[in-house]
A and B are shown apart, each in its own frame.
Chain A
Amino acid sequence: MSTVLLHVASVSKSFGGVEANRDISLTVNEGSIVGLIGPNGSGKTTLFNSIVGYHPVDTGSIRFQNKEITRLLVPDIARLGLLRTFQQTRIYGKMSCIQNMQISMPLEEHTLRSVFKALPKKDMQEIEDMLAFVGLHSKRHLLAGDLSFGQQKLLEFAMALIAGPKLLLLDEPTAGINPTLINGLIDRLKVANQELGITLLIIEHNMRVMMNITDHIYCLAHGTLLAEGSPEDIQNNQTVIDAYLGAH
């Protein structure tokens, strides 16, 4: 089980004069859970944006399932099975939770007919199960915009899961979530990885979560790759500790 799913090779990205990412390479193996850590402003979200095609990279290449995706557009990449969630949660606020899930269901075939026909009833069971899985079943008829921030985060997670991605990029999944619910979220991430077979690449500041679930961690600082290794290695790596605590 060490097929490479995502391969980022020497990616650089600048905004004006600011180098947000410089020569970053990382690899995500199929079936793994990989963590991406680093102090605020170290370029983690920029890297996510580059991977999903939100903005073009300056140099370097990104391959997903051995397919060059560097130049593809956002929806094309999403349809290959590479999805992301947002740090500032994005859901469809004026639609009910169920509608949010319905539009996230992948189409079996992309024909005009399937777009214009009535929504298939058979999807409902799957949607309700998924909402129950993240603990939103009782809220399913509410407008997504009326949910609390943490609930919206869970909804966005459920939307990503039901879309059936091969690789899911999660941008700070536990930020803003009630600490007592974090253990539940860790379990759900594990279930998503093991039972649904979704490979995960996670940005997270909560080290307890990262140590608990990841197989491998990359650490960014000032736009460059500072260190990589197993959670234990990273935990004991002096440069990583310095970067986080601000030593020079």
Chain B
Amino acid sequence: MFDNFMILFDAPVFSIDLLVNGMLIGAIFVLAAYGMALVWGVMNIINVAQGEFVMLGGYVTLVVVKLGLNPLFGIPISALVLYAIGWLMYRSVIYRVVDRDVFTSLLATFGISILLAQLTNQVFGANVQTIDTGLGTWYFMNGDVTVAIIKVIAFVLAVFLGLVLWLFLKKSRTGQAIRATSQNPRAARILGIDTHRIYATTYSVSAALCGAAGSLVVMAWAVHPYIGLPYTVRSFMVVIIAGLGNLPGVIMAGLGLGVAENFAGFILGTEFQIAFVFLLMIAVLVWRNFALRRQRKYLK
């Protein structure tokens, strides 16, 4: 562990490698976090199944490839399939909990999370799976910094999707209705907005976003049935660092988390990377809470 730490000093070029690759995966975290923030902000539900949507997006793309299509087709198809799954989830489960206390929705989405993860495990098995896009790798600085081209594409697409969603929320009629509902569902209902339809759209769009993200994950990295929860936790962490409705904050926090995770994985060893993610979340929670307590306790 200490040896790895020293390597970073002896060969600073590794840091650049970790930094670049960390930011590339950070873009995926930003997408998933954006999806979570959307559901959280509009419906006041913390969707524990958010990460499972990412995982499912990866598996949909795997199926697409098995059917003989180019993996890049997997991105829109995953988004579409996940949109449908999100809609089904909303119509069968979420709409029953959207007006109830936050514990009910938390437990219900927790149940969905287990259900989806275990179902995937039954259907596809527990193996780690990935797709080789055959796009090759770029080498910089005498090969000390390696960047898979698909990761760059994933990064660009993630930024693009984020922008599209942001524009959709700002400009489109539905987007405005979603924002109105998030601010005051009762007033929105009185003004003739069908809030249940808005909720269904929000939840499905959020699932679709994660589906696209998952499709990028399986091409640039890998998936297995249990990667969902770490993605949920990462999204949660990004949202609580940035705050709801703070898009630049979400981007910064997501990229920062990707970098932090990459460095931690290198220094501590990859077997501790997941533990690092979860412990970091607890640290963030405790720190946020401590800051709030101070505010209440002392004068400013």
Pick the interface stretch among B203-211, B246-254, B292-300. Answer: B292-300
A57 interfacial contact with B, CB 8 Å: yes
Report how far A70 CA is from B299 CA in the complex, Å: 9
Ordered by A's residue number, 12 sampled pairs between the chains whose C-beta atoms are within 8 Å are: A55-B296, A56-B296, A56-B297, A56-B298, A56-B300, A57-B299, A58-B299, A58-B300, A71-B297, A71-B298, A71-B299, A73-B296
Q: Which residues of A contact B299 (CB under 8 A)?
A: 56-58, 70-71
Q: What distance in Å separates the Cβ of B99 from its nearest Cβ neighbour in chain A?
A: 17
Can you name 5 extra interface pairs (CB under 8 A) apart from A56-B300, A73-B297?
A56-B296, A56-B297, A71-B298, A71-B299, A73-B296
Q: Which of B295, B297, B298, B299 has the most CB of A within 10 A?
A: B299
Report the separation of the CA atoms of residues A57 and B298 in the bound assembly, to the nearest whole angstrom.
9
Q: How far is the CB of B246 from chain A (nearest CB, A)?
A: 16
Once the chains are docked, how many angstroms separate the CA of A56 from the CA of B295? 8
A-side residues, CB < 8 A to B, are 55-58, 70-71, 73
Residues of A within 8 A of B298 (CB): 56, 71
Residue of A nearest to B299 (CB): A56
Residues in A whose Cβ lies below 8 Å from that of B296: 55-56, 73
**Nearest neighbor of B298 in chain A, beta-carbon distance:** A56
* Cα-based distance from A58 to B298 in the complex (angstroms): 10
Contacts of B300 in A (CB 8 A): 56, 58
Residues on the B chain within 8 Å of A58, using CB:
299-300
A71 CB contacts on chain B under 8 angstroms: 297-299
Q: Which 3 A-B pairs have the closest CB atoms?
A: A56-B299, A56-B298, A73-B297
Question: Chain B nearest CB: distance from A70 CB in Å?
Answer: 7
Minimum CB–CB distance for B67 against chain A, Å:
54
Return the CB mask of B12-37 against A: 1 if under 8 Å, else 0.
00000000000000000000000000
The residue of chain B having its C-beta at the shortest distance from the C-beta of A73 within the complex is: B297
**What separation, in Å, do the CA atoms of A56 and B292 have in the docked complex?**
12
Question: How far is it, in angstroms, between the C-alpha of A55 and the C-alpha of B297 when the chains are bound?
Answer: 8
Nearest residue (CB) in B for A57 is B299
Interface residues of B in 246-300 (CB under 8 A from A): 295-300
Query: How far does the alpha carbon of A122 sit from the alpha carbon of B296 in the complex, in Å?
Result: 38
A140 to B300, CA, bound (A): 44
Separation of A57 and B300 alpha carbons in the complex (Å): 8
Alpha-carbon distance between A56 and B297 when the two chains are bound, in angstroms: 7
A71 to B295, CA, bound (A): 11
Q: How far in angstroms is the closest Cβ of chain B from A21?
A: 14
- Identify which of A55, A56, A57 gathers the most chain B CB atoms within 10 Å of its CB: A56
Task: Report the Cα distance A156→B298, complex, angstroms.
Answer: 29
In the complex formed, the residue of B with least CB distance to A56 is B299
In the assembled complex, the CB of B192 is this many whole angstroms from the nearest CB of chain A, namely 28
B256–chain A nearest beta-carbon distance, Å: 27
**Cβ of B297: which chain A residues have Cβ within 8 Å of it?**
56, 71, 73
| Bound CA–CA A70/B298 (angstroms) | 9
